[in-house]
Copies of this chain bind each other. A is one copy, B any other.
Amino acid sequence: MKEKEVDNEKLVQVVASALELFMNYGVKSLTMADVASKLGISKKTLYQFVKDKKDLVNKGMLFCLEEEQQVLGQVTADSENAIDELIGFTRFVNSRLKDLHASVIFDIQKYHPECWSMIESHKKDFVRNSILLNTKRGIEEGLYRKNLNPEIVTSLYMLMMDGMFNSDQNFGKGIRLEDLHLEMIRYHVRGIANDKGILQLKNLLNKDENNHLKLD
């Protein structure tokens, strides 16, 4: 492997690990000294990979979002039908939300607006498009109600997604993002699927890998 590729691989490793730390501990509370220490390198070495803290957060988030696009693309490719695809999306996104607290979202919104913009763009483009295509696919496969308007349904879905990240309504009520997410998906799939789709859903939820999703 060429030296340039080694450097890039190391960069990816550093920024990916750093973002995970930020997601766990919060961006504001975690200094660059903390990050370097937990990654087992010096600050000097860390600054060989990134220009500044903002750069680190942004690069980490970029990697994270690209990974999500890659993984969800694979879910789509592997899925047998629209319901299967939706459950696959849910499994991945929910596992990510398990480790995310609303305070970290607040942190990013407040101190890292550029990073937040990346998340917003990801939602507006990739997520929206995925749901739109999934809705159309479900209608074509006879699993979703035929009288759905995919554009409108997708907009309703995005409204709920935006609401999930509105921290002020999520605090102080013991509501966890992962549970909120599952509640929304249950609401969504019940709102779009027909009887055949619901049956398909139940079949999929019986699989071990989906048991914990509690979408029934």
Report chain B residues within 8 Å CB of A103. Answer: 24-26, 29, 101, 103-104
Report chain B residues within 8 Å CB of A196. Answer: none
Q: How far is the CB of A108 from chain B (nearest CB, A)?
A: 10
Bound-state CA distance A110–B178 (Å) is 27
**Chain A interface residue bracket vs B:** 20 to 34
Q: How far is the CB of A146 from chain B (nearest CB, A)?
A: 38
Q: How far is the CB of A29 from chain B (nearest CB, A)?
A: 4
Q: Which residue of B lies closest to A176 (CB)?
A: B176
Q: How far is the CB of A155 from chain B (nearest CB, A)?
A: 30
Q: Does A20 contact B (CB under 8 A)?
A: yes
Mostly, the A contact residues are: helix
Q: State the copy count for this chain.
A: 2
Per-residue 0/1 for A140-177: is the Cβ within 8 Å of any B Cβ (1 yes, 0 no)?
00000000000000000000000000010001111010
Q: How far is the CB of A194 from chain B (nearest CB, A)?
A: 33
By the criterion CB–CB under 8 Å, are B110 and A29 in contact? yes
Using known A-B contacts A101-B101, A101-B103, A103-B103, determine if residue A95 contacts B25 with beta carbons closer than 8 Å. Answer: no
By the criterion CB–CB under 8 Å, are B26 and A107 in contact? yes
Task: Report which A residues bind B (CB closer than 8 A).
Answer: 20, 24-26, 28-29, 95, 98-99, 101-104, 106-107, 110-111, 167, 171-174, 176, 178
Can you report 12 A-B residue pairs in the complex whose CB atoms are below 8 A from each other?
A: A24-B102, A24-B171, A25-B103, A25-B106, A26-B26, A26-B29, A29-B110, A98-B174, A99-B171, A99-B173, A99-B174, A176-B176
